[in-house]
Amino acid sequence: MLEENDGRENAGQKGRFIFIFLDGVGIGEPGMNNPFFAAGADFLPFYGPSPTLPDKTPVKPIDALLGVPGMPMSATGQTSLFTGRNIPHLLKSHRDSYPNSAMRKIIKEDNLLSILQANSFRVRFLNAYPECAQLFIPEQIRILDDGQLIFRDGESPPLRGMISVTSCMILAANTPPYGEADILQEKALYHDFSNRLLRDRGFNLPVFSPEKAAEIIFNTSGQYDFLLYEFFQTDMYGHGYTFTECVDLIRELNRLVRHLVGLLDSQRDTLLITSDHGNIEDGSQQLHTQNPVPLLVWGAGSEKLRQQINSLVDVTPVVVEFFRNPTLFD
């Protein structure tokens, strides 16, 4: 378990720290089979041997295989990313979709949100759960120390098999998710930041442009030391949408990141973007890939953060150290 600090409040941390997790994104070849290349994604240049942003901020390829043969998967990749533990090595395989009890046990013991919270930092998961936010409280769902999920009797059975890594993290940290009202008040985002999916299901919500979504991320991040936003449409699109639809998705996501970078102060704020495994970067197929995943770190402390992160398991311990000892990253 990563140790807590010595009681100092916020250890001198300044500015925003925004972590955008993109599900299913690797660094692919620079060609028209790669939607990042086809979209001309200048702020998500996930192709080629040495990609950079327009300001020359480098994108670093980091390892998602973690020394275990086979195809990297979401559950083990995300648990490794957000706990700093090599889960495929512990389980001797890559495992897909939702964490099992062994992974939930580790998430309950140590995860990025809980560790920062235990060190007196203000943390927030930006994603809204408008259809089930009321369920993510201890009276409704709990993770036991052995990783078992305990549900209140009578809750919807489909939810039992659909508790993601980030959902386990907010349960472990006891930080209930945002709901529909928070989207309306422009404090939170759905995983589809545009809200189109929710509108299709009958929610009376506005359509957010990528720029509006970036402004919501920026504004909410000013109230916390650490903000996490999960975008898993990249993996969904890579698995089952047309190449043209994937290119359109990347163009919108690129607009969000471009606008967000324009709002941030490179001397004070930090933006970190990474993924759990490859997928959407190879439009010639609809499966996960063994490509390295991108590490995009922009702003304050970015060079030293980038230097110290070489695989999924490095992200959480290095980010925690950034908060606990920020002067080491000057």
The full set of domains in the chain, from first to last, is 10-329 (3.40.720.10)
Across the range 119-129, mean pLDDT stands at 97
CA–CA separation, 166 and 160 (whole Å): 15
CA–CA separation, 106 and 24 (whole Å): 22
117 Rama sector, left if φ>0, alpha if ψ -120 to 50, beta otherwise = alpha
Answer whether 320's CB lies under 8 Å from 119's CB.
yes
Chain centroid to Cα 192, Å, comes to 13
Name the burial class of residue 283, with classes exposed (0-12), middle (13-18) and buried (19+) by CB atoms within 10 angstroms of its CB: buried
Across the range 164-170, mean pLDDT stands at 96
CA–CA separation, 298 and 300 (whole Å): 7
Across the range 318-323, mean pLDDT stands at 98
Answering whether pTM is above 0.85, one says: yes
b (16+ CB within 10 A) / e for 67-102: ebeeebbbbbbbbbbbbbbbbbebbeebbeebbeee
Answer whether 63's CB lies under 8 Å from 310's CB.
yes
Three-state secondary-structure class, residue 239: helix
2 pLDDT tier (thresholds 50, 70, 90)? very low
Q: For residue 1, what pLDDT is reported?
A: 41
159 pLDDT tier (thresholds 50, 70, 90)? low
* Structure-block tokens of residue 115: 């560790």
Q: For residue 5, what pLDDT is reported?
A: 39
* Structure-block tokens of residue 241: 């949408």
Q: For residue 155, what pLDDT is reported?
A: 56
